[in-house]
Amino acid sequence: MCHGPLESIFRVVEETLEENRVRHYDRSYEIPSEDTGPSIDAELARMYARGDIKRDTFLRLRPMARQGGLSWADLESLKRDARLHPLPRPAPVDETTAALTNIRDKKAALQQAASDSESVAQSLDQRIAGSANEAARLESQAREVLPKDENQARALLTTRQEILEGRAHLEERVSALRQDIQRLQDLKGELDVREQGLKVLQARERLGALEEEIKKGPQSKQEN
């Protein structure tokens, strides 16, 4: 049985891998109302959203569009230029890379949790060893005073018994922690297997992309 914050970590690890992140274009602009029909300002914003023009171009031309200093002919010229000289697009989200990153993050969380649990377990082991020594000392002391003072001997043995009960409780906690650590290691092993599979897939994807690039190479030169 897991305890404390480990329980939440396990839930995270055992969940299905998160959906791949989705990248968006920067849309720090306000789309104008279209109840008056299409406008140059709105079309300029759409061109920016599509990635036809750069951010600095959009910010430079928008005041002109709002003030009537930009015509539809100007926009058509921008569109032709975008077709002839397209802007580099953001790289599409690589699902395999995103999955690998996700797995590595989880492995790091598992490693940290295992390290924390091992540190606590070792600390408890030290307390258990100390309590065993203390119990042995009290027993020896009780034997010494028994002939002289039975009540004191009984009090010493009572304290010894309390220490032994506390030791038993600590041993249960250590046992539970060791089980947690083993479970963490098992989960890490599962993630290792997934990671290796994704690495193979990533290598094949890169090889496929390279082959596709090589095939397109001669065609591209002929077209040019």
pLDDT-derived band at 10, boundaries 50, 70, 90? very low
Summarised one tens digit per residue, pLDDT across range 98-107 is 888 888 888 8
Please report the pLDDT score of residue 49 as a whole number: 59
Residue 8 has pLDDT above 80, yes or no: no
Please report the pLDDT score of residue 103 as a whole number: 87
Percent of the chain exceeding pLDDT 70 equals: 74
Please report, for residues 20, 62, 91, 158, 166, the alpha-carbon distance to residue 57 in angstroms, rounded to integers and kept in the order given: 31, 8, 21, 84, 73
**Rounded Cα distance, 188 and 177, in Å:** 16
Tokens 């043995």 belong to: 157
Please report the pLDDT score of residue 35 as a whole number: 39
Summarised one tens digit per residue, pLDDT across range 42-69 is 777 777 756 778 778 878 887 888 788 8
Instruction: Confirm if 201 and 96 have CB atoms less than 8 A apart.
Output: yes
Its pTM surpasses 0.95: no
Nearest to 177 by CA among 123, 131, 118: 118
Instruction: Confirm if 140 and 159 have CB atoms less than 8 A apart.
Output: no
Please report the pLDDT score of residue 128 as a whole number: 94
Residue 30 CA, chain-centre distance (Å), reads 33
Please report the pLDDT score of residue 37 as a whole number: 41
As a whole number of Å, the end-to-end CA separation of the chain is 67
Residue 204 has pLDDT above 70, yes or no: yes
When the pLDDT of each residue in the chain is averaged and rounded to a whole number, the result is 75
Please report, for residues 93, 139, 170, 174, the alpha-carbon distance to residue 126 in angstroms, rounded to integers and kept in the order given: 50, 20, 10, 11
How many residues are given for the chain?
224
pLDDT-derived band at 12, boundaries 50, 70, 90? very low
Domain boundaries, the chain: 40-84, 94-212
Summarised one tens digit per residue, pLDDT across range 98-136 is 888 888 888 888 888 888 889 989 999 999 999 999 999
Residue 29 has pLDDT above 80, yes or no: no
Domain 94-212 is in which class? mainly alpha
- For residues 7-18, give the mean pLDDT: 36
